[in-house]
Amino acid sequence: MTSEGRSTPAAPAGRPWFMANELLAFVVELVALAALARWGFATGDGVAAQLVLGLGTPAVAIVLWGMFAAPRARFRPPLAWVLLVKAVVLGGGVYAVHAVGHPVAAAFFGAVVVVNTALAKTLRRRTPQRGAPAA
């Protein structure tokens, strides 16, 4: 109840929502990497090209993510750059799902990526970090 005597609805930015969305974000990242690997192995002409694309594409995505988009990224670029890296990696995963012949799954995965990323940015702003005083 508020000081005026009316009740307020439970805020979706509470810790359980935040943690559930963070877990979903991790799963989305893993699915994108797996999709990039699957695309690479399916796309290359010959065994050598398949190995280079199947292993190299997710490796490049991992390096980009680790340098710019991970929670403990080596570099802390502005939000626009972080979102660009996320769009390239996660969007590449969505494209990869489509390219190997699953357009409906790609559309679903793309929608999950967009909603999860938007919620992550919103919930990270609203959820106080452990040890930080609540605003």
Q: Per-residue pLDDT tens for 68-100?
A: 988 888 888 988 898 899 999 999 999 999 999
Task: Give the best-scoring range by mean pLDDT among 14-23, 41-50, 118-127.
Answer: 41-50
**How many C-beta atoms lie closer than 10 Å to residue 94's C-beta?**
23
Q: Which of 36-40, 43-47, 56-60 has the lowest mean pLDDT?
A: 43-47
Least reliable range by pLDDT among 25-39, 44-58, 73-87: 73-87
- What's the average model confidence in pLDDT over 10-27? 78
Kindly list the distances between the CA atom of residue 122 and the CA atoms of 17, 59, 87, 115, 119, in Å, as whole numbers in the listed order: 11, 29, 17, 11, 5
Instruction: Report the candidate in 25, 5, 24, 7 with the shortest Cα–Cα distance to residue 86.
Output: 25
**2 pLDDT tier (thresholds 50, 70, 90):** very low
The model's pTM: 0.78
pLDDT of residue 8: 47
The average confidence (pLDDT) of the chain is 85
